[in-house]
Structure 1
Amino acid sequence: MTYQNILLEITDEILYITINREHKLNALNKATLAELAEAISIAADNNEVRGVLITGAGERAFVAGADISEFSNYNIAEGEELARVGQNSVFDAIENCPKPVIAAINGFALGGGLELAMACHLRIASENAKLGLPEVSLGLIPGYGGTQRLTQLVGKGKAIEIITTAEMITASEAEKIGLVNYVVPQSELIAKAEEILNKIKLRAPLAIASAIKAVNASLLPDVDGFDTEIKEFGKCFGTLDFKEGTTAFLEKRKPVFFGK
């Protein structure tokens, strides 16, 4: 695929995905979502990728929402299909990616932009970031998992307040309620995300994937998360990384993992 709306780069086992529509405040349109779906598929399948960093071009916006002009005339069926395709191909794919995905939130993360950040496993925000789900101002509700993931992250009461008032919150408020993991100066945003990914890269890749799967299972109503954990724990014993990790521990040296 030739990318028109995102930039991709793999450096030191990190896949950098930059939403590159700065003139539109990096708003998500259909083409951008299709490119993101492809990029996440690459991340999941490429053994050279150990982590993913998603950010927006420029300092004004991570993603300032969806491209409203594309769906302003949709009917009920078209609206439902829009949400279903986006959730399945992009947002759920990010959440279930076996590689850790970090959102580096620079500036506005609104609507679909905040939903994109919430689908990531970790969120780092710059001090100037503003976050919100303003969909009810358009006669809509969040359609890319926003009602579900926001509730999981901040609790029911705060989620309903944020969604129904449609007001933006600051980065510091987002950190206080658990919506983001860290708030840093704009100049340190990417470095902080890299710092975390570089720590994760020292650990066993297959174990990381199993941990993500088990944690995600805790939120699925039709799945026994404890059973998932037991099975993923057992699978780890069949990996070379387990042998390397335990041998290195007993030999009092640092392990070298290969994801096998």
Structure 2
Amino acid sequence: MNGTVNIEINQGIGSITFFHPQSNSLPSEILNLLADTITSAGQNEEVKVIILKSEGDRAFCAGASFDELIAIKDLETGTQFFSGFAKVINAARKCPKLIIGRVQGKAVGGGVGLASAVDYCMATQYASVKLSELAIGIGPFVVGPAVERKIGVSAMSQLAINATEWHSAQWAQSKGLYTEVYDNIEIMDEAIHALAQKLATSNPEAMRLLKQIFWEGTDHWDTLLTERAGMSGQLVLSAFTREAINSFKNK
């Protein structure tokens, strides 16, 4: 596996960092590790607040691994792959700790889903967003509920329909995806650390209850996101989608 997921715990702050050499894309192994790491951090009494971030300074997350997408040959494998995104979103949703997102660069597809699944997301001016799924013959079905919950149906449909267009970090902030947009990584990291320090000394039970309220009405997502994974798993088998993915890879 050419990728990693690590966690560092310091003074009550659990920093979860994922990495993949292909612009921090998300193959199945990374998705499963990320979901497990978020769940474990939520159960660790030493962790009071979580920061979710990726390595590098150019891309936060390129979304699904194209190499793995094109290798899918049957519905079961396809559903299993897209269920990896469901696992990460549900892990973040169920985690009793507040999660701060750190988006230093571009976010595509599943990367937008990750940014939507955290509780408080901060970004740099370079963190433009795109839901590119329709452009390769599928749709943002699994991440859709998280994105829609965060920015609303209207903004989510803009991203989903205009699938080849980048939307700026300022646009994402105006829709509620990002709470703040900073000029550079250094300033953003200072702000994230300051907030995380405050939360690390706040009442854990109050934060747990607050998060529970934030996510009211999502108890059915275990079933919903699995169903959505099946939709994507079916579409990725079509000749249209396979040709679109190959065309995109060869650009």
Asked if Structure 1 and Structure 2 have the same fold, meaning a TM-score greater than 0.5 normalized by the shorter chain, the answer is yes
Mapped contact 1:6–1:35 kept (Cα < 8 A): yes
Moved more, 2-11 or 31-40: 2-11
Deviation at 1:201, TM superposition (A): 2.3
> Residue by residue, what CA displacement relative to the aligned partner does 1:140-162 show, whole Å, maximum 9, x if unpaired?
11243x22122222221221111
Percent identity between the aligned chains?
Answer: 25
Q: Secondary structure at the match of 2:139?
A: coil
Q: Secondary structure at the match of 1:102?
A: strand
Q: Secondary structure at the match of 1:24?
A: coil
Q: Secondary structure at the match of 1:168?
A: coil
1:5 aligns to what?
4
Residues 1:70 and 2:68 aligned together: yes
Alignment partner for residue 151 of structure 2, among 150, 154, 159? 154
Q: Specify the structure having the higher radius of gyration (Cα).
A: 1
Tell me how many residue pairs correspond in the alignment. 218
Deviation at 1:20, TM superposition (A): 2.1
Deviation at 1:108, TM superposition (A): 1.1
> Residue by residue, what CA displacement relative to the aligned partner does 1:58-83 show, whole Å, maximum 9, x if unpaired?
11011111111112243334323322
Give the letter for the 1:215 counterpart: F
1:124 aligns to what?
122
Give the letter for the 1:150 counterpart: V
Residues 1:93 and 2:91 aligned together: yes
| Structure 1 segment 202-217 matched on structure 2, within 5 A | 202-217=201-216
Deviation at 1:4, TM superposition (A): 5.0
Which of 1 and 2 has higher RCO (CA within 8 Å, sep 6+)? 2
Alignment partner for residue 133 of structure 1, among 131, 134, 137? 131
Deviation at 1:185, TM superposition (A): 2.2
| Structure 1 segment 79-118 matched on structure 2, within 5 A | 79-87=78-86, 89-118=87-116
Mapped contact 2:115–2:177 kept (Cα < 8 A): no
Deviation at 1:214, TM superposition (A): 2.1
Residues 1:41 and 2:42 aligned together: no
> Residue by residue, what CA displacement relative to the aligned partner does 1:165-186 show, whole Å, maximum 9, x if unpaired?
0122111111111111110122
| Structure 1 segment 46-61 matched on structure 2, within 5 A | 46-61=44-59
Residues 1:168 and 2:156 aligned together: no
Taking the aligned partners of 2:54 and 2:83, their CA distance within structure 1 comes to 24
Deviation at 1:220, TM superposition (A): 5.1
Q: TM-score, length-normalised on structure 2?
A: 0.80
Give the letter for the 1:18 counterpart: T
- Stretches of structure 2 that go unaligned for 5 or more consecutive residues are 222-251
> Residue by residue, what CA displacement relative to the aligned partner does 1:8-38 show, whole Å, maximum 9, x if unpaired?
21112111111122x3111111111122122
> Residue by residue, what CA displacement relative to the aligned partner does 1:117-145 show, whole Å, maximum 9, x if unpaired?
1111111011111111111111011243x
